[in-house]
Chains A and B, each alone.
Chain A
Amino acid sequence: MSVLIFTEAVNGKIKKSSLEAVTYGSKVAAALGTQAVALNLNPGGADLSELGKYGASKVIVGKNASLASFDSQVYTAAIAEVAASVGATVVVTVNDSLGKAVAPRLSARLKAGLVAGATTLPNTAIGFNVTKNVFSGKAKAHYNIVSAVKVISLMPNAVQPEANGSAASVEEVNLNIGVSAKTVIKEVKRASTDKIALPEAELVVSAGRGMKGPENWGIVEDLANVVGAATACSRPVADIGWRPHHEHVGQTGVAIRPNLYIAIGISGAIQHLAGVNQSKTIVVINKDPEAPFFKAADYGVVGDAFEIVPRLTEAFKKYKAGH
C-alpha cells in the first residue's frame, strides 16, 4: 500500500504546486498509516531528492523515450503502471493543465473515484471524504470516494508546502507504457516572459468597464508593475476588445484564487464574483458605494479610480522602498 504523488518540474525546478501535492500526499499517507511515494516522468535536471523534505519517503523517476513530450494517454499509462507497482491506493495530482488532462483518464483507467480540485485532506472518520468548490465557488461539496483506489487532483494554492523532512532516495524505473502517443505537440508559443501567468499569479490587479476605454489602462498597468501583479479584466472589457481574452476572469473566463485581488471599476456581477471569490483578500475601488462588489470585498475605497489608482501606486512605491 502507498500514496503515489505525481510531480512536475520545469526549467530544472520542481513546481511549487508539486511541493504542495507532496506535502498533501504525505499527510494522506500518514492518516492511512502508509508511505508517500513521489513520481516524476520528466525531471529535466531537477533535484528530486528534495521531495523527501516535503514528506516523500521515496522518489521514482519513470523512464521511457515517449515521456519527453506530453500526451495524456501515454502519461496516464505510465502513472497507472507505477501506481500498480507500488500498490497505490491513493494517487494525487495537481489540478493544473496537465492534471486536468491526466487525472480523469487515470480515474477511468483504474476505476478509481476522482475528486478534481480538492481543497481539503480526506476526512477518514466518515469514509474518505474530500471537499471541493462547486457552483463556481458559490458552494462546497463534500464527496465520499467509495472505490478501493482513489484519485485526488489537488487545487493549486489550497495547502502550503511544508519542508520538515530530509532528502529521499531517487530510483529510476524503466516503464513499458504499452501505448503510443496519438497527439503531437508541434510548437509551444511562450507567453512573453516578463508577464506573470494569470492562473498562477498570487497578486492580481483587475479592471472593468469603469476604466472607460483601453487608452486608460496605463494607470492599471503602472499599479500592477509596482505591486508585481498580473493583470486581469471583466468579461465585457475583453469582449469589446479593450483587453486580450486571456485576461477575462469570472465564471466563463479564468477562475483564479490569488492572495490579493484588486478590482478597479468592476461592478461585481455574480458571474464575475464566481471566478474571483476564492481570492484570499479582495480590494474594491469603485465610485458607486452601492456597487455589489463591496459586499464581497475585504477593503473598499469609494471614489474615482482615475484619482485613486495613481495614489495607490505611489503608496505601494513608498512601501516597497521601505521593505
Chain B
Amino acid sequence: MKILVCISQVPDTTTKIAFTDGNTKFAEAGVQWIVNPYDEWYALVRALEIQEKGGSTVTLLNVGPAANDAVIRKALAIGGDDAVRIDADPKESYFVAAQIAAYAKSESFDLVLFGKETINYNGAEVPGMVAELLDAPFISQASKLEVEGSGIVCERPTEAGVEVVSSSTPVVVSAQKGMSEARIPNMRGIMAARTKPLKVVAAVAVDTLTEVTSFSLPDAKSAVKLISPDNMDELVRLLHEEAKVI
C-alpha cells in the first residue's frame, strides 16, 4: 500500500490560550509546537504498523510554512520513509484540503490517513473535504483499520453502535483512539529523521471559503460553591433548584 499520512502542527496541550492583534491572531510567542496527537498516535502509528507487515510505503504530509519543518522531523522520528511540506499558510480547512488533494491525486496514494480532528481547530473538516475532492470513499473517525486484500476494513463508533465498514482503495480514513497505541521516538529514529527526504512543494491557487474574524475566551466561571460533605441533600437540592439540571 502506498500510504499518505497528513499531519498538522498544533500547540502543546498545556499551552495557555491567548490572542493578539485585537483578538484576531493566536498568541504564538513561547508556544511549544507538537504533532497533532490524533495524527501522531493513531494515523501515523497505524500506518507504520501496516508498513511493518511489509510491502507499504509511508509518506508524511504537512501544509505549512518552513517553520513547521521541526515538527515534521519530530513525526519522521517516529517513522515514515519521507515527508512533503506544501509551502503555504494553512489558513482554513478548504484551502488545506485542496492542497492535500492536489498532491494526493498527482501521486495516487491507496490510503490517505488523518487524525480525527486537530486539537486547535477541532473541526474534523479536512479529511472529508479531501475525500470529496479525490472522489474517494471516506471512513470518518475510525477506531480500527485492517488491510484486507486490496481493500480495508475499519471499525467506526457511532451513536447507534460500532459499525464494521469495508472499503475499496483509494480511500481516505480519519483515525481516533483505539486504532493504535502512541509510540515514543527512540534515539535511532531521531537520528534517522534528520536525513530523511523532506520535499517542499509549491501550493496551488485556491479560493478561501471562510475566515476567522476574531477569537474570544469563554465566559469566566463564577467561583465554586463548596458544600459540606455531611450535607449531600443540600447538593442535590441545589442541582434541582439552582442549577436546574435534574
Q: Which residues of A contact B (CB under 8 A)?
A: 10, 71-73, 76, 96-98, 100-109, 111-117, 126-127, 129, 132-147, 181-191, 197, 199-200, 203, 227, 245-246, 248, 251-253, 255, 259-260, 270-271, 274, 277, 280-281, 283-284, 294-304, 307-308, 311-312, 314-316, 318-319, 323
Contact = CB atoms under 8 A, between A and B. Distances in A.
Interface stretch (B74-82, B102-110, B192-200, B214-222): B214-222
B135 to A, nearest CB: 8
Given A100-B140, A113-B94, A133 B210 contact: no
A97 B236 contact: no
Contact of A114 (B37, B162, B209, B245): B209
A252 B141 contact: no
Interface of B: 11, 13-14, 17, 19, 37-38, 41, 93-94, 97, 119-133, 135-141, 153, 155-168, 171, 177-178, 207-218, 221-222, 224-230, 232-233, 235-240, 243, 245-246
Contacts of A117: 122-123
Contact of B216 (A139, A253, A283): A139
20 contacts: A10-B160, A72-B131, A100-B140, A101-B138, A101-B141, A117-B122, A135-B17, A136-B119, A139-B215, A139-B216, A142-B213, A146-B208, A147-B209, A182-B136, A185-B165, A203-B245, A255-B122, A298-B224, A319-B233, A323-B240
Contact of A145 (B121, B210, B236): B210
Given A297-B224, A315-B232, A139 B218 contact: yes
B218 A100 contact: no
A295 B218 contact: no
Given A270-B14, A303-B229, 6 more contacts: A97-B140, A100-B140, A112-B209, A298-B224, A301-B227, A308-B232
A246 B224 contact: no
Contact of B128 (A104, A184, A190, A245): A104
A103 B128 contact: yes
A299 B238 contact: yes
B209 A146 contact: yes
Given A72-B131, A108-B94, A139-B19, A311 B13 contact: no
Contacts of B14: 270-271
Contacts of A109: 132
A269 B237 CA distance: 28
Nearest 6 Cβ contacts at the A-B interface? A104-B128, A113-B209, A303-B229, A101-B140, A315-B232, A108-B132
B146 to A, nearest CB: 12
A306 to B, nearest CB: 11
A105 B17 contact: no
Contacts of A184: 165-167
A190 B129 contact: no
A76 B132 CA distance: 9
Contacts of A76: 132
Contacts of A129: 213
A254 B211 CA distance: 27
A47 to B, nearest CB: 20
A280 B217 CA distance: 16
B239 A301 contact: no
A281 B244 CA distance: 9
A188 B167 contact: no
A98 B38 CA distance: 19
Contacts of A115: 210
